[in-house]
Structure 1
Amino acid sequence: MASPKSDEDRWLRVFQPRPEREIRLVCFPHAGGAATYYFAMSQQLDPRFEVTAVQYPGRQDRRTEPLVDSVPRLADQVADALAAVCEDGPFAFFGHSMGAVLAFEVARRLRDRGQAGPVRMFVSGRRAPSRVREGRVHLRDDQGLLEELRAVGGTDHRVLGDPELLAAVLPVTRNDYRAVETYRWHGGAPLECPVTALVGDADPQTTVQDAEAWAGHTTGAFDLKVFQGGHFYLDAHRAAVCDAVSAALAGSCDDVGAAATALEGSTS
């Protein structure tokens, strides 16, 4: 009889293990997405950094598990699963679309629990939590949801044209849209880590100004990267995105090293 998986085993996927990593990059998928979306990033990112992708319930190898249609509840569960990660060296967060909101909420929970938080956060293709916009995509019928997937991109055209695959994809996508469209930020202290916002200049869901508003959610440094393209700009600019992420993480490595040196000096 197989032993039950730990929370970490159930929730986290490492495609390219890097035992000598300097920082672990925990990646949060978009609505309807899965951990494998970050496989390409795990291959292209600077080898000093290890990609650890979050696998939400209800998809791929977790397809038999109940879906979670609430960002706060999902954030609670991910924060629990990251308990061991918080004690295993510095880490950063990268979230795209719904994943950006979830990464933000997980970081808040870690802080409120007194645990280590990310040394940097990357928020991609998502307006700041303080920028509220009503969303009703999750209330559309299947045809309306399919039209949304075609409009924003990011879904393999072979899936969109296969009724059997669509039957599996649409309930997961609807669930995630419900989670992110009903999410509301209720204020609270900003984060302290540096934040890098990334956005496509023609994203129908997030304007450049919406992305800039993330600056108000941290007391740390803020940077904005704008790429040509729509909501899934990063598919067309994956190498440039990986370069930008690697450069920012290299700066975080310097910050971590400087903090460690200062701590050693204060205790000697």
Structure 2
Amino acid sequence: MKLICLPYAGGSAAIFNGWKASLLSEITLENVELAGRGKRYRENFYTSVFEVVEDIYSIIHKELDDSPYAIFGHSMGSLLAFELGHKIQQEKRRIPEAFFFSGKAAPNFLNQENVHLYEKERFIKKIFSLGGTPAELMKYKVLLDRYLPIIRADYKIVETYKFQDNRPLLNTPFYIFYGDEDTITLDKIKAWENYTSKSCEWFKFDGNHFFIKQQERLVINLINKILIDKPNVGI
């Protein structure tokens, strides 16, 4: 079983590297690197969610029919995973065994805040308030100045995303992860069930928007159970 992982805004493929040691041996991790960061830092930023999806699809499409796989995304990564699912289904390729949507409202709830347009100091205050950005970055201006354009570009594609409501449901089970201290309301979490023709299950974790860091071991253990030990699912 392959687990394709898509990062949150500002994140690179490296954020999932630590998962390898805790995933069961039956699960192979494939953490996708997006343009403008990590090994692809010289490449231009994306201009839309759909451009990202086309890029991800071009990276993974040759292997989709070879073996079972699942897709995990956190925050922005959940939106990318959702649209990637539609791309895969539209292309009539082998669909995932599971979607893990983490830390994100259902896709019909569009962002009301244009954070990507904030001036620098307000933007910095906002992203650090969410808890996912290392506080050490504030100490190193060179690193901060390199990071800010990446996360600003990611915020822009999420905040300018246009939801398309006239498509078939995804034919894959959904597993929704959320933090009990996140600001996303429960009705927006529950609404994910409207976009699958299969089952939809929700799992609550202690923590804020970045509970996947605070509760990393529990998150990985649950993924292991869902993908490999299905009869024993539960936190």
* Equivalent of residue 130 in structure 1, options 90, 93, 108: 108
1:138 CA displacement? 0.2
Structure 1 counterpart of 2:177, one-letter code: L
TM-score of the superposition, structure 1-length normalised?
Answer: 0.83
Is the 1:31–1:99 Cα contact (8 Å) retained in structure 2? yes
Tell whether 2:154 aligns with 1:176: yes
Q: Which residue number corresponds to residue 222 of structure 2?
A: 244
Q: Which residue number corresponds to residue 229 of structure 1?
A: 207
Structure 2 counterpart of 1:246, one-letter code: N
Is the 1:129–1:184 Cα contact (8 Å) retained in structure 2? no
Identity %, equivalent residues = 29
Q: Which residue number corresponds to residue 69 of structure 1?
A: 47
Tell whether 2:100 aligns with 1:86: no
1:252 CA displacement? 6.5
Q: Which residue number corresponds to residue 26 of structure 2?
A: 48
1:246 CA displacement? 0.8
Is the 2:175–2:203 Cα contact (8 Å) retained in structure 1? yes
Tell whether 2:191 aligns with 1:191: no
Residues 75-128 of structure 1: CA deviation (Å, up to 9, x unaligned): 111112111220220110000000000011011001101111111000000000
Structure 1 counterpart of 2:92, one-letter code: G
Distance 2:230 2:57 in 1: 22
Tell whether 2:9 aligns with 1:31: yes
Distance 2:19 2:216 in 1: 7
Distance 1:223 1:69 in 2: 32
Bigger CA radius of gyration: 1
Gaps of 5+ in 2: none
Distance 1:88 1:207 in 2: 38
| Structure 1 residue ranges (4+ consecutive) displaced by more than 4 angstroms after TM superposition | none
Structure 2 counterpart of 1:86, one-letter code: L
1:135 CA displacement? 2.3
RMSD of equivalent CA atoms: 1.4
* Number of equivalent positions: 230
Matched position secondary structure for 2:61:
coil
Distance 2:79 2:43 in 1: 22
